[in-house]
Amino acid sequence: GHKSWVLSIAFGPIDKDSGDMLLASGSWDESVMLWALRGASGDKPACVAMLRGHSGRINCVAFGALAGMKQRM
């Protein structure tokens, strides 16, 4: 997890088939972490990505309107 206080969280889109969703957390430690939240399976949250390299604390995280939409061909 984070090495300092979490300052912001945002819940991402839900996969309607599985109930899974994403959680983004931004921290004083200058990182953003993405967590997979398993709906139906009941598994513990798992970190699936860590975004580093910011030059200051992360005050706000959010998902865009198109986040998680499946591509249609």
User: What is the per-residue pLDDT for 19?
Assistant: 76
**Within 10 Å of residue 12's Cβ, how many Cβ atoms?**
20
Stretches in the chain below the pLDDT threshold 70: 39-42, 65-73
pTM over 0.75: yes
Instruction: Please give the order of strands across the beta sheet that includes 6-14.
Output: 6-14, 21-27, 32-37, 46-51
Distances (CA, A) of 50 to 21, 28, 39, 54, 70: 16, 14, 21, 11, 22
Decide the pairing of beta strands 32-37 and 6-14: unpaired
Cβ(32)–Cβ(13) under 8 Å? no
User: What is the per-residue pLDDT for 73?
Assistant: 38
User: What is the per-residue pLDDT for 20?
Assistant: 83
